[in-house]
Amino acid sequence: MNQENELNRNPLIDGALKLYVVLAYLFVFAPILASFVFSFNSDRFPSIPLGHFSTEWYRAVAADPLVWDGLRNTLLIGGVVGVVSTALGFGAAYTDYRYRFFGKQVYLALALLPPTIPVVIMGLAMLAYLSRIDLSGNALSVIIAHVVICAPFAMAVIRLRLSQMDPSLEPAAWNLGASEWATMRHVIIPFARPAILGALFITMAVSFDEFAIAWFVSGLNETLPVKVLGFLQGQVSPRINAIGTFVFVTSMTLVILAQLLLSGRGTATGKE
Amino acid sequence: MQEPLVSFEGVAKRFGSYTAVQKMDLQIHKGEFLAIMGSSGCGKTTTLRMLAGLEAPSEGIIRLAGRPINDLPSWSRDTPMVWQSLALFPFLNVIENVEFALKMRGIGRAERRRRAEQWLDRMQIAEFASRNIGQLSGGQRQRVALARSLVVEPDILLLDEPLSALDAALKVRMQSVLKNLQRETGITFVYVTHSQSEAFSMADRVVIMSRGKIEQIGTPQEIYRTPRTRFVADFLGSSNIFPGQLQQDRSGRAAIATASGHFLLAEDAAASAMPGQSASLTVLDTRMQIHLQPPADAVNMVEARMIGEEFVGATATIYFETGAGQEIRVQKSHEELADLPLAVGRSFHLSWLPADGHLVPE
């Protein structure tokens, strides 16, 4: 904070802003916090006063082979989706950075469109389409569907980074004797590396959490969020809280990692 | 005469309907320091980029050491360039930046480290070898950029306004670094700039471009003393320009009739002057004399009112206006001005020798 700012601060506004931030975060995180608290509560039903601390729901979850199946599916799908959509997103972002061509606006709009389609419609469309080409109901179908919604995120993240690149950097590498491929490998990818890793983590997190589309197309290879719905339909069990806490912690870890990379600590932007 | 290192033969560049460079012929000799100067949009950078292989000429041939290079991609050319933004790689440290070109040429790790260190030494930045680019000052970055381009020991180095981001004092220091480097290495430098002081202080030859065309090529002295076109005279801004019509005076000597009066021409200019033709007379602002009383022996003289003065270090520029509304600048040292009662609004007589006037076609 610079000095003028320090000097001209109104303590009332300051306090109000702080309160506002705290309330906003409380609003967002209270349900998750509740789920977290009740996942360690011995009582069968979420009620106050709390029972005693217990990890029995975690043990119950860990003992359920169906949950392990779901976790394995989730991790496998998340990993593959992360890699594939980051690769696609990078290609799309680089195309946008490097080339000017007719219909580029349309190309960009289409590339960024999928996340704006309501997921239920997307899920239904995926199911209808994938079942027609006999790809429905397995892990591959979830991967395909998730890549469709994740790649635009990866593209947006990487595109932002490339837009910060000094436009002379790439021609400078050619000029110093690097072919286009060598420039890609030694200049473009190293420059975009924080964004590439960030995109990888964010797309993994999105795939990890995604429920609606996975529910439509996963068939017997259910991911964890789909499993949770299964539990809910059968019975309200604190096991859901345990799974929820686990999924939340995993996703948050990925998102925070991505944030750290993208906030660019220790990496110059190259514009100076 | 030996074969030029680079030759542009009828080279033109168009972007859609816009012509950036009109059909140009230009020879660059081995070991010279050539500056290409002009205001923005004159085609100087496009010319340099065509030589570097970053733009393809629309027509004509560019030869490097006799060989046509039109179809050679940038990475097979050996025409390293120092960029206006420097374009250092921010994710590499100083020595890795310098090693880059050697690495791309497949030179082994030990050898490229050795050669990079040599250049860091030479540019006096060896102590920063493992620093990040972000930790360097402007002048240090400049040196890294030079080392990075020169490490391959090319025949030619292209420079695209590399000093434009530096402050004035550093600019002057880097100019002498560049000039010495060029002299010591014997590498041909092609230096693009919009700054007259940079071009004139470093270059052996200067090319002045305007609207995609070469206006004049010559040594700094030639261009300064005898601008060949009206544009060059205007661009340099060091000459007073009197537009008018050529004629012969009563005694048969060539003269030019301008709004501010009739002026006699130098003998050599007179030979080529066709009476009735439109032309402009240019007189360097340092070649004009200021008098309080009209001197008896003055041939070319005009009466003008002083409208302002401007001090620039050791010299002063005095501005006058003639009865016809023409502005005239005169540059003098403070000693020369000491005896004159300079005051805005006062009338003076300005004179110059016919030999100091040059004709440029209209």
Q: Per DSSP, which regions of chain B are E strands? A: 6-15, 18-28, 33-37, 59-64, 67-68, 81-82, 156-160, 188-193, 205-210, 213-218, 239-248, 254-258, 261-264, 278-284, 289-291, 300-312, 315-322, 327-333, 347-352, 357-361
How far is residue A150's CA from residue B347's CA, in Å, rounded to a whole number? Answer: 79
For residue B179, count other CB atoms closer than 10 A to its CB.
16
Whole-angstrom Cα distance, residue B244 to residue B362? Answer: 9
Distances (CA, A) of B79 to A61, A221, A231, B158, B189: 66, 58, 68, 7, 10
Q: Does A185 lie at the interface with B, CB-CB under 8 angstroms?
A: no
Please give the residue that has the higher pLDDT: either B253 or B309: B309
Same domain, A236 and A141: yes
Cα–Cα distances (Å) from B275 to B99, B200, B258, in that order, read 64, 35, 13
Q: Is residue A48 part of a domain?
A: no
Residue A230 has pLDDT above 70, yes or no: yes
Q: Between A174, A179, A268, which is nearest B90 by CB?
A: A268
Residue A13 lies in a domain: yes
Alpha helices (runs of H) in chain A, residue ranges in sequence order: 3-7, 11-39, 56-62, 65-98, 104-112, 119-132, 139-163, 169-175, 180-183, 189-209, 212-217, 224-234, 239-262
- Alpha-carbon gap: A163 to the closest alpha carbon of chain B (Å): 15
Put simply, whether A169 touches B (Cβ < 8 Å) is yes
pLDDT level of residue A173 (50, 70, 90 thresholds) = very high
pLDDT band at B270; cut points 50, 70, 90 = low
Count the Cβ atoms, other than its own, within 10 Å of residue B341.
Answer: 7
Cβ-contact B142, B133 below 8 angstroms: no
Rounded to a whole number of angstroms, the distance from the CA of A169 to the nearest CA of chain B is: 5
C-beta of residue A89 within 8 angstroms of C-beta of residue A115: no
Whether residue A28 is found in the same domain as residue A111: no
Query: B103 in contact with A at a CB cutoff of 8 Å?
Result: yes
Number of domains, chain A: 2
- Do A30 and A132 share a domain, yes or no? no
DSSP E strands in B100-204: the ranges are 156-160, 188-193
Chain B residue with CA closest to A190: the answer is: B91
Instruction: Write the pLDDT tens digit of every residue in B4-57.
Output: 999 999 999 999 999 999 999 999 999 999 999 998 889 999 999 999 999 999
Cα separation, A119 vs A210, whole angstroms = 9
Structural domain spans, chain B = 6-225, 230-361
A171 touches chain B (CB under 8 A): yes
- What mean pLDDT comes out for the span B193-202? 91
In this predicted structure, what is the pLDDT of residue B272? 67
Q: Could you tell me if A60 lies within 8 Å of chain B, comparing CB atoms?
A: no
C-beta atoms surrounding B107 within 10 Å:
17
Residue A114 lies in a domain: yes
Q: What is the mean pLDDT of residues A90-104?
A: 92
Averaged pLDDT for residues B183-207: 93
Are residues A28 and A82 part of one domain?
no
A68 and A26 part of one domain: no
* Two structure tokens written together for B275: 């009476």
In whole angstroms, give the CA distance from residue B64 to residue B101. Answer: 20
User: Cβ B52–A175 below 8 Å, yes or no?
Assistant: yes
- Please answer yes or no on whether B90 and A178 come within 8 Å at the CB atom: no
Q: Check A268 against B134: CB less than 8 A apart.
A: yes
Beta-ladder partners of B283? B240, B357
Of the options 2.40.50.100, 3.30.420.10, 3.40.640.10, 3.40.630.190, the CATH number for the domain spanning B230-361: 2.40.50.100
Q: What proportion of chain A, given as a percentage, has pLDDT over 90?
A: 35
A266: pLDDT strictly greater than 70: no
For residue B43, with 0-12 CB atoms within 10 Å meaning exposed, 13-18 middle and 19 or more buried, which class applies? buried
pLDDT tops 50 at residue A270: no
Distance CA A223, CA A142 (A): 9
Q: Within this chain, do residues A160 and A218 fall inside the same structural domain, yes or no?
A: yes
Q: CB–CB of B90 and A193 under 8 A?
A: no
A169: nearest CA in chain B? B87
Measured CA to CA, the distance from residue A97 to residue B104 in angstroms comes to 23
pTM of the model: 0.80
Whether B230 contacts chain A with CB within 8 A = no
Burial of A23 (0-12, 13-18, 19+ CB in 10 A): exposed
Same domain, A108 and A21: no
**What confidence category does residue A185 fall into, taking pLDDT thresholds of 50, 70 and 90?**
very high
The rounded distance, in Å, linking the Cα atoms of B218 and A162 is: 43
ipTM above 0.95, yes or no: no
- Looking at residue A195, its pLDDT comes to 93
Are A176 and B83 an interchain contact pair (Cβ–Cβ within 8 Å)?
no
pLDDT of residue B96: 95
Same structural domain, A35 and A87: no
Across the range A34-38, mean pLDDT stands at 85
Q: Choose the most confident range, by mean pLDDT, from A258-272, B108-122, B158-172.
A: B108-122
pLDDT tens, residue by residue, B99-153: 999 999 999 999 999 999 999 999 999 999 999 999 998 889 999 999 999 999 9
* Side-chain half-sphere exposure of A125, counting CA atoms within 13 A: 12
Asked if the model's pLDDT at residue A271 lies above 50, the reply is no
**Is residue A124 situated within a structural domain?**
yes
Beta bridge mates, A26: none
**Which domain, by its residues, includes A159?**
64-262
What residues does B217 pair with on adjacent strands?
A: B207
User: What is the pLDDT averaged over residues A211-218?
Assistant: 79
In terms of domains, do A200 and A252 share one? yes
Kindly report each contact of residues A242-247 with a partner whose C-beta sits within 8 Å and lies 24 or more positions away, as own/partner.
Answer: A242/A39, A242/A57, A242/A58, A242/A60, A242/A61, A243/A61, A243/A67, A244/A32, A244/A35, A244/A39, A245/A35, A245/A36, A245/A39, A246/A61, A247/A208, A247/A209
Which residues of chain A lie closer than 8 angstroms to B77, CB-CB?
175
Taking CA atoms, what residue in B is nearest to A168?
Answer: B87
Question: Is A3 inside a domain boundary?
Answer: no
Provide mean pLDDT across the span B59-63: 94
Asked whether residue A52 is assigned to any structural domain, the reply reads no
pLDDT beyond 60 at B157: yes
Split at pLDDT 50, 70, 90, the class of A56 is confident
Residue A80's CATH number? 1.10.3720.10
Q: Note the pLDDT of residue A126.
A: 86
The answer on A201 and A114 residing in a single domain is: yes
* CATH entry, B6-225, from 3.30.465.10, 3.40.190.10, 3.40.50.300, 3.55.50.30: 3.40.50.300
Question: What are the structure tokens assigned to B213, written together?
Answer: 């065309």
Domain co-membership, A35 together with A137 = no
Question: Above pLDDT 70, what percent of chain A?
Answer: 93
How much is the average pLDDT of A134-159? 88
In a domain? residue A233:
yes
Alpha-carbon distance B22 to B210, whole Å? 10
Interface test with A, best of B48, B64, B86, B104 (most A CBs within 10 A): B104
Q: Residue B274: left (phi > 0), alpha (psi -120 to 50), or beta?
A: beta
Cα–Cα distances in angstroms (integers) from residue B99 to residues A266, B106, B124, B130, B247, in the given order = 22, 11, 16, 12, 65
Range of weakest confidence among A229-238, B28-37, B96-105, B280-289: A229-238
pLDDT (mean) for A122-137: 84
pLDDT band at B247 (very low <50, low <70, confident <90, very high): confident
Flag whether A50 is in a domain. Answer: no
- For B209-235, write each residue's pLDDT tens digit: 999 999 999 999 999 888 888 899 888
Single-letter code of the amino acid located at B98: V
Mean pLDDT, rounded, of chain A: 85
Consecutive H or E run containing B336: helix B334-337
Name the average pLDDT for chain B: 90
- The stretch A20-32 carries a mean pLDDT of 92
Residue B271 — pLDDT band, cuts 50, 70, 90?
low
Residue pair B356/B287 in contact by the 8 Å Cβ criterion: yes
**Does the CB of B79 have a partner CB in chain A at under 8 Å?**
yes
Residue A147 and residue A83 share a domain: yes
Q: Can you give the pLDDT at residue A268?
A: 43
